């Protein structure tokens, strides 16, 4: 599993978020819509959303300890979004418009490689197609004690309703990789799963349920953490959907149902970041989803 690694540190380390004594960890998955080229691959430009996304994160996501970002084309443009001291890990890719998965951790934690591999990527999740996104995989350690808390996997699975079988192939590859972890090891798997309903795929089950079965095909014990009913994580002028998910296993406690920033679910247009047009243009077509876990 060889891949080039991009590892970024911001030089000045300042306390931003701290763990409680119970080691409560807030994890946010956030698809940033072709970030680094202005949100449109057909009209690439210098990224103009850095300040608006930074303000959004500082205002609404300032309790997050871990980010899993998707659709990041220029990883360097991601660094100014976060406070000083954050560590971000991604990978190199030959295609200049490749949408990368990036994992970022606050100064309260460290991101390290798992013991059984020499890098941070699960290339098998590309399902033999180098144009697809590999999964990113790290062990999460408490910085103060170096205690290894859990394993985090970030994904961005293949899009479009007709690609369910490819998404399941990717999920099985991830399951095979994670089968090398001890069975009781806490694992959080999150990102943009591009999960469609059976009414859209014309299959007997929703993608969310099929992906769960695929994740449990080799590695065992995964459960899906549901969102509130009628909650959407994706919105554009045409439609809304629920693409961004959390799956967990092992000895941990999910403290609450994941919190989704509400503009993607809103029935009426608002102001500021709750304005459909402003948010879609200046932030993303996905809403961030945050889940808190408590690790023993």
pLDDT digits (tens, 9 = 90+) for 1-42: 444 344 433 322 223 344 445 689 999 999 999 999 999 999
**Residue 213 neighbours by CB distance under 10 Å:** 14
Rounded-to-integer distance, Cα 233 and Cα 260, Å: 7
β-pair partners for 260: 289
Distance CA 154, CA 138 (A): 9
Confidence (pTM): 0.93
Percent of the chain with pLDDT over 90: 89
Cβ-based neighbours of 20, under 8 Å, separated by 6 or more: none
Whole-angstrom CA distances from 23 to 11, 65, 91, 214 are 25, 11, 29, 30
DSSP lists the bridge partners of residue 235 as 240
What integer pLDDT is reported at residue 21 of this predicted model? 56
Q: Which two tokens stand for residue 220?
A: 């065992």
Mean pLDDT computed over 98-103? 98
What is the pLDDT, as a whole number, of residue 22? 65
Confidence at residue 94, expressed as pLDDT on a 0 to 100 scale: 93
- For every residue of 265-277, DSSP letters joined together read T-SS--SGGG-HH
DSSP state of 248: E
Kindly give the interhelix angle for 164-178 and 207-215, rounded to the nearest 10 degrees. Answer: 30
Which phi and psi (to 5°) does residue 24 adopt?
-80, 130
pLDDT at 19: 47
pLDDT tens digits, one per residue of 143-174: 999 999 999 999 999 999 999 999 999 999 99
SS3 197: coil
Cα–Cα distance measured from residue 286 to residue 192, given in angstroms and rounded to the nearest whole number = 9
pLDDT(190) > 60? yes
What pLDDT, on a 0 to 100 scale, did the predictor assign at position 175?
A: 98
Number of domains in the chain: 1
In whole angstroms, give the CA distance from residue 38 to residue 49: 7
Strand, coil or helix: 244: strand
- pLDDT for position 142: 95
Contact 195, 208 (CB under 8 A): yes
Task: Tell me, rounded to whole angstroms, the distance of Cα 214 from its chain centroid.
Answer: 19
- The pLDDT, as a whole number, for residue 183 is 85
pLDDT at residue 130 tops 70: yes
pLDDT the model gives residue 103: 98
Region 86-115: mean pLDDT is: 96
Q: What is the pLDDT of residue 9?
A: 37
Of 126, 116, 223, the closest CA to residue 180 belongs to: 116
**CATH code, domain carrying 59:** 3.60.10.10
d(CA 119, CA 203): 36
pLDDT, mean of residues 103-130: 97
Q: Tell me the per-residue pLDDT of 32-85, one tens digit each, with 9 for 90 and over.
A: 999 999 999 999 999 999 999 999 999 999 999 999 999 999 999 999 999 999
Cα maximum dimension of the chain = 52
Nearest Cα neighbor of 287 from 42, 17, 56, 16 is 56
pLDDT digits (tens, 9 = 90+) for 203-256: 999 999 999 999 999 999 999 999 999 999 999 887 999 999 999 999 899 998
Report the pLDDT value the prediction gives residue 266, as an integer from 0 to 100: 96
pLDDT of residue 177: 98
Name the residue range of residue 267's domain: 5-295
Grade residue 269 by pLDDT with cuts at 50, 70 and 90: very high
Beta-sheet pairing, 24-35 with 66-72: parallel
CB-based contact 85:10 (threshold 8 Å): yes
């Amino acid at each position: 599993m060889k891949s080039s690694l991009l590892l970024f540190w911001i030089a000045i380390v300042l306390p931003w978020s701290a763990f409680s004594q119970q080691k409560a960890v807030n994890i946010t998955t956030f698809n940033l819509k072709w970030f680094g080229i202005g949100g449109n691959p057909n009209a690439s430009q210098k990224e103009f959303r850095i300040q608006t996304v930074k303000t959004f994160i500082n205002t609404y996501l300032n309790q997050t300890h871990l980010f899993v970002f998707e659709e990041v084309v220029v990883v360097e443009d991601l660094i100014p979004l976060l406070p000083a001291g954050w560590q971000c890990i991604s990978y190199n890719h030959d295609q200049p418009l490749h949408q990368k998965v990036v994992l970022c951790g606050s100064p309260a934690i460290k991101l390290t490689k798992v013991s059984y591999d020499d890098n941070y990527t699960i290339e098998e999740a590309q399902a033999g197609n180098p144009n697809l996104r590999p999964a990113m995989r790290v062990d999460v350690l408490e910085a103060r004690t170096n205690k290894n808390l859990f394993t985090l996997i970030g994904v961005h699975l293949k899009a479009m309703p007709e690609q369910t079988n490819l998404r399941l192939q990717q999920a099985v590859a991830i399951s095979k990789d994670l089968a090398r972890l001890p069975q009781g090891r806490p694992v959080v798997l999150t990102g943009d799963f591009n999960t469609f309903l059976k009414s859209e795929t014309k299959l007997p089950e929703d993608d969310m349920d099929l992906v769960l079965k695929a994740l449990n095909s080799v590695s065992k014990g995964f459960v899906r953490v549901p969102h509130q009913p009628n909650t959407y994580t994706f919105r554009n002028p045409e439609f809304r959907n629920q693409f961004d998910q959390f799956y967990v296993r092992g000895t941990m406690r999910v403290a609450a149902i994941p919190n989704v920033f509400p503009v993607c679910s809103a029935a009426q247009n608002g102001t500021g970041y709750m304005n459909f047009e402003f948010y879609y243009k200046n932030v993303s077509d996905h809403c961030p989803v945050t889940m808190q876990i408590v690790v023993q």
